[in-house]
Amino acid sequence: MALPNRGVGEDGATPCSRRFLWTCHSWPWHADVVMPQEKRTTPDKLDLLQGTLDLLVLQTLASMGPQHGYGLARRIEQLSGDEVLLNQGTIYASLVRLQQRRWITAEWGVSETNRRAKFYSITKAGTRELAEETSYWARLTAVVGRVLAPSGRSAK
């Protein structure tokens, strides 16, 4: 699959070689970044902050047990109220990343439709990481909420 020409910056870097804040569900070849100045193709859907999808995958595996990639994506979409849409490239990029970090393991099995599928499970290291990231996320959102709250009012 050829990558579309997304341009080269003044520093000679391509979009995929820079580090950006946002992740995107529409770039299957590089699910971690989207150029902030680009217009979102689906303004009613949310883009995830970098690293957030990994956290959602870990939480889903911790709460539901072993799942295959398609099932994970659909469950996250369902829990988000369909505010987040995940394509195959996005979810599998996250699963590969989590496996490389040894936060999840994979084992072949048979899906509910009698097809061969890889089932992913959270590891002890993944459970520890989930606890740390959940704590960090709670602190971060509390701080952002305080800053975004109208003057004199605290966000609850």
Taking each helix axis from N to C end, the angle separating 124-148 and 52-64, rounded to the nearest 10 degrees, works out to 130
Range 115-119 average pLDDT: 96
Say what the pLDDT of residue 5 is.
Answer: 40
Residue 78 pLDDT > 60, yes or no? yes
Report yes or no on 26 lying in a domain. yes
CA distance 117 to 114: 9
- Whether residue 38 is contained in a domain is answered as yes
Domain total in the chain: 1
6-65 pLDDT per residue, tens: 444 444 443 433 222 333 333 333 333 333 334 445 556 767 767 899 999 999 999 999
**Domain CATH code at residue 96:** 1.10.10.10
**Residue 74 within a domain:** yes
- Examine residue 137 and state whether it is found in any structural domain, yes or no: no
Q: Which helix (H) or strand (E) is 99 found in, with range? A: helix 88-100
Q: Is residue 83 situated within a structural domain?
A: yes
Return d(Cα 46, Cα 148) in angstroms, integer. Answer: 19
Residue with the larger pLDDT of the pair 77 and 40: 77
The number of angstroms, rounded, from the C-alpha of 133 to the middle of its chain's C-alpha atoms is 13
Range of the structural domain that residue 81 is part of: 15-126
